[in-house]
Amino acid sequence: MAEGWVEDGLRALRGALHAQDGVTLLAALRRGPVREVLQLAGDGVAGTAAQGLPGAAEMAALFLGALQERGFRGDEELADRLRAAAGDAAIPFLRPLAVDLEILAMLLEGDPAESGGRVDLSTGECRPAFTDELGPGPEAEEDDDPERWLYVPALGSRAGYRDMELFIEEVGDAALADRLRIAIGGRGAFRRFKDVLAGDEHSWRRYHRFRDERQRGRARAWLAEEGYCPLSGSWQPGRVAGTDAGTSVVVRGPAS
């Protein structure tokens, strides 16, 4: 396994997730350290495990071990999803929702004075608060229906600041780590932190993967607290030995 993810590997991984192709996903996950993509790829791995694809059980076990060792917020919810998909635990009682965790995280972690929003429970679409200020949409008569919408608070930047602190602890270059610690002191911490990291492309990319993982985990945990889990859809077995591997199989169990 490579020491770190390169852009080609990440593109292959994201492509497999987008296509919901289990065989390609399992192959792509061997191109980098799974610890950096647990929240990104975990629902897909659960899907391959539920299907019983070759190598899926081993990958799910690898993910479970890494999640338990890492312990970010949201990692336990994802671990529960993987255990259920592998048949090792009961399926958590959460309602599946086809929501994009990355977009949900943006709503959750915006400026409380400007951000937040709501999720359409019928489609999973995330709607930022500012779009409501543009005027009523075609569904205006349902805007206050609690059966239709899940409201999302904007919790501010405290969690994002903690992401920077924790990332600095993982930086192997002592001089860079010192500069980053200085950068996050006082007002303008986020801008200065990014300015320092911009001079080190490898660390810049590692930080973004680290931050994205933590944001997705927080979004997953918040959803679970509200009684929902991300729905990962159906996974294609792919083509094996030149034959069509069959129809898609709906992932068993909710996503966290």
What pTM did the predictor assign? 0.84
Question: Which residues are within 8 A (CB) of 150 and not within 5 positions of it... i.e. 6 or more apart?
Answer: 97, 118, 119, 121, 226, 228
Q: What is the pLDDT of residues 33-63, one digit of tens each?
A: 999 999 999 999 999 999 999 999 999 999 9
Alpha carbon of residue 113 to chain centroid: 25
Taken as a whole, the chain contains a residue count of: 256
Orientation angle between helical segments 101-108 and 201-225, nearest 10 degrees? 90
Residue 109 vs residue 139, higher pLDDT: 109
**How sure is the predictor about 239, in pLDDT bands with cuts at 50, 70 and 90?**
very low
Mean pLDDT of 98-125: 90
Residue 242 vs residue 58, higher pLDDT: 58
Rounded to an integer, what distance in angstroms lies between the CA atom of residue 254 and that of residue 97? Answer: 9
Question: Which residues are within 8 A (CB) of 21 and not within 5 positions of it... i.e. 6 or more apart?
Answer: 235, 236, 238
**How sure is the predictor about 232, in pLDDT bands with cuts at 50, 70 and 90?**
low
Residue 176 has pLDDT above 70, yes or no: yes
**How sure is the predictor about 2, in pLDDT bands with cuts at 50, 70 and 90?**
very low
Rounded to an integer, what distance in angstroms lies between the CA atom of residue 62 and that of residue 9? Answer: 18
In DSSP notation, 86-148 reads: TTSSPPP--EEE---HHHHHHHHTS-TTT--EEEETTT--EEEHHHHTT---TTGGGTT-TTT
Residue 164 has pLDDT above 70, yes or no: yes
